[in-house]
Amino acid sequence: MKPAGSDDLPLASEGPGPEMYLAQVRRHLRGLPEQEQADLLDEIASHIESGQSDPRMGAERVMAELGAPEQMGRGLRGIHRPNRLADLLLALAPSYLLSPLVTLVISRFYGAMEVWAVTAPQLYLGGRISLLLAAALASVGRLRRSAELTVFWLSAGLGTLLSLMTREGRFLPGRERIAGSPLESLALYTLLAGLCAWLLVTLRQRRFDPLLVVFAALPLLLAAANFSTGQILLAGGASSRIGQALPFGSAGIAAYQAAWTGGLSLFFLCTRRDPRWSGLLLIAMYYVYPNLNAYQESTGILVIWSALLGLVLLAWAWDWMSRAGRGKGHAVRPPVSPG
Amino acid sequence: MSEIQQLRRGSTQVLILSVLASGRMYGYQIMRELEQRSEGYFTMNAALLYPTLHQLEQDGLAESEWEDAQGRRRRKYYTITPRGRQKLAGSQAEWKQFLTSLFKTLQIADQPTQEKAP
């Protein structure tokens, strides 16, 4: 933005011609899908054409008003998230590979893991290593300026931290299940506050986009739903039919397993909002479906998991409605320029 | 960058939204409309306009659609969304408060000098 005639923007007449300008912008758009690049360049070309057909404008002024091709390219590149595939892989690959790898390495040193032994060094170390990895990968997301990747790993880290703190009794001051813990509890609380603050700052930078907020909240809601399910089961309020959680054949189970990857792919790779919402819904269904099957006789558990799915659908509907109501009651103005 | 230039940059989104609030427009048209409304005071280069438009779109504050036409290139038209209008209303209120307070403060700063004058 500048006042007319000020010198903070290039107005040099010796700038590149339209073709060269577009070629220079294209160079900055590498890494984006071909169609997306074509659409972006088409819009700039259409802008140049509009200017050229405007009798008030000279060819030089049209080109000068475009601004530097580097500025245009970088600006568009920052918004259209190039290399979204790399972001997806940075979310998927560690999820599939690193966690089992950590478990394997720890098991080599400490032997087989006892799932319910909360003081077992495997669980103690495993939780902390997973937490470190999540924080490191969130930093990678921050470096790549990818809010999606940052939020993915921050939420995963928060989910891990919350489950670790619950398991170790950290939310019951003075009654921690691991010896010598008060100081460590304080450190974990500080970490919890730090991760929450980081997540909030990241979401604020994206103006609390509901799509990203739900993506961030999903792992935490899942942790809460799992915790509540566990409490209902402990209280004897329900019986589990865990064997019926996935009533498919092996092919069906493989397809079900692919749902999480598919959902994450839709969320990371698409730029349009509705496919990204459907990705979130797919991820939510991946977690909700087995619970709905396994606890058919417990209304409480069914309500908890259905509510989770309902929340995602509600957020999607709200987002959709706010977009669908566009332009009502507002007249379409004729173009300012001729043509 | 001067303070005024910083203020101008900070107002880019709200200026575009305010132009879009009056109707559906394409990029070049937004640029000219902005210039016309401000009587030439506000001009914006395309390298700032288009990334901001795309950001508004990603934030759900504006929406776009391509429109084909014979004899010329297709154009991408932008429309403000209800969320965009909400954001615009909030920004307008903030700017109004800021400018009123700034103006008052500047007047107060001038006032003592005038009062002290014989």
Q: Give me the total of CB pairs closer than 8 Å, taking one residue from chain A and one from chain B.
A: 143
Cβ–Cβ below 8 Å for B50 and A326: no
Point out which residues pair with B63 in neighbouring strands. B79
The Cα B37–Cα B22 span in angstroms is: 12
CA-nearest residue of chain B to A4?
A: B41
Provide, as residue numbers in chain A, all residues whose Cβ is less than 8 Å from the Cβ of B48.
Answer: 1, 67, 71, 75
More reliable by pLDDT, B33 or A245 = B33
Provide, as residue numbers in chain B, all residues whose Cβ is less than 8 Å from the Cβ of A203.
Answer: none
Point out which residues pair with B75 in neighbouring strands. B67
Cβ–Cβ below 8 Å for A46 and B76: yes
The Cα A156–Cα A131 span in angstroms is: 8
Read off the pLDDT of each residue in B84-111 and give the average, rounded to a whole number: 84
Counting Cα atoms < 13 Å in the Cβ hemisphere of A117 gives 9
Point out which residues pair with B22 in neighbouring strands. none
Q: What is the pLDDT of residue A179?
A: 61
Q: Which helix (H) or strand (E) holds B32?
A: helix B27-37
Region label for B70, one of left (φ > 0), alpha (ψ between -120 and 50) or beta (otherwise): beta
Point out which residues pair with B80 in neighbouring strands. B62
Provide, as residue numbers in chain A, all residues whose Cβ is less than 8 Å from the Cβ of B50.
Answer: 40, 43-44, 47, 72, 75-76
Instruction: Residue A72: name the closest of B58, B62, B16, B50 by CA.
Output: B50
Task: Give phi and psi for A222, each to the nearest 5.
Answer: -65, -45
Cβ–Cβ below 8 Å for B46 and A67: yes
Contact between B22 and A25 under an 8 Å Cβ cutoff? The reply is no
Long-range contacts of A98-101 (CB under 8 A, 24+ apart): A98/A133, A99/A130
CA-nearest residue of chain B to A68?
A: B47
More reliable by pLDDT, A118 or B4 = B4
Q: What one-letter code names the amino acid at A134?
A: A
**Interface-testing mutation among B8, B36, B50, with chain A (most A C-beta atoms within 10 A):** B50
CA-nearest residue of chain A to B6?
A: A1
Cβ–Cβ below 8 Å for A76 and B54: yes
How far from chain centre, in Å, is Cα A45? 33
Please tell me the distance in Å from A90's CA to the nearest CA on chain B. Answer: 22
How many CB atoms within 10 Å of residue B54? 22
Q: What is the pLDDT of residue A170?
A: 79
Read off the pLDDT of each residue in B12-18 and give the average, rounded to a whole number: 94
Instruction: Residue A262: name the closest of A250, A239, A280, A241 by CA.
Output: A280
Contact between A71 and B44 under an 8 Å Cβ cutoff? The reply is no
Please tell me the distance in Å from A79's CA to the nearest CA on chain B. Answer: 6
Cβ–Cβ below 8 Å for B25 and A333: yes
How many CB atoms within 10 Å of residue A162? 19
The string of DSSP letters for A103-146 reads: HHHHHHHH-S--TT-TT-HHHHHHHHHHHHHHHHHHHHHHHTT-
Contact between A264 and A91 under an 8 Å Cβ cutoff? The reply is yes
How many CB atoms within 10 Å of residue B32? 21
**Interface-testing mutation among A1, A25, A76, with chain B (most B C-beta atoms within 10 A):** A1
The Cα A45–Cα A81 span in angstroms is: 21
The one-digit pLDDT tens for each residue of chain A (339 residues) are: 443 333 333 333 446 789 999 999 999 888 777 888 999 999 999 999 999 999 988 888 999 999 999 999 989 987 887 778 899 999 999 888 877 777 777 777 766 655 555 456 667 778 888 899 999 999 999 988 788 999 999 999 998 898 888 878 777 766 666 665 778 888 889 999 999 999 999 998 777 888 999 999 998 898 889 888 888 888 876 666 666 666 667 777 777 878 899 999 999 998 778 899 999 999 999 989 888 888 888 888 899 999 999 999 999 998 887 765 443 333 333 333 332
Q: What is the pLDDT of residue A30?
A: 81
Tell me chain B's radius of gyration from C-alpha atoms. Answer: 18
- In terms of DSSP H, where are the helices of chain A? 18-28, 34-52, 59-64, 69-80, 84-93, 99-110, 121-143, 147-167, 182-205, 210-234, 250-269, 273-294, 299-324
**Interface-testing mutation among A37, A47, A63, A145, with chain B (most B C-beta atoms within 10 A):** A47
Cβ–Cβ below 8 Å for A1 and B75: no
Q: Beta B75-80 vs B62-67: how paired, if at all?
A: antiparallel
The Cα A116–Cα A225 span in angstroms is: 19
The Cα A250–Cα A163 span in angstroms is: 30
This prediction's pTM = 0.64
Please tell me the distance in Å from B25's CA to the nearest CA on chain A. Answer: 7
Q: What one-letter code names the amino acid at A273?
A: R
Please tell me the distance in Å from B53's CA to the nearest CA on chain A. Answer: 10
Cβ–Cβ below 8 Å for B44 and A1: yes
Q: What is the pLDDT of residue A333?
A: 34
Going by the DSSP 8-state scheme, the letter that residue A98 receives in this structure is I
The Cα A10–Cα A58 span in angstroms is: 16
Provide, as residue numbers in chain B, all residues whose Cβ is less than 8 Å from the Cβ of A78.
Answer: 51
Provide, as residue numbers in chain A, all residues whose Cβ is less than 8 Å from the Cβ of B28.
Answer: 46-47, 50-51, 54, 337
Q: Model confidence over B57-72: pLDDT tens digits?
A: 887 889 999 998 888 8
Contact between A139 and A158 under an 8 Å Cβ cutoff? The reply is no
The Cα A216–Cα A201 span in angstroms is: 12
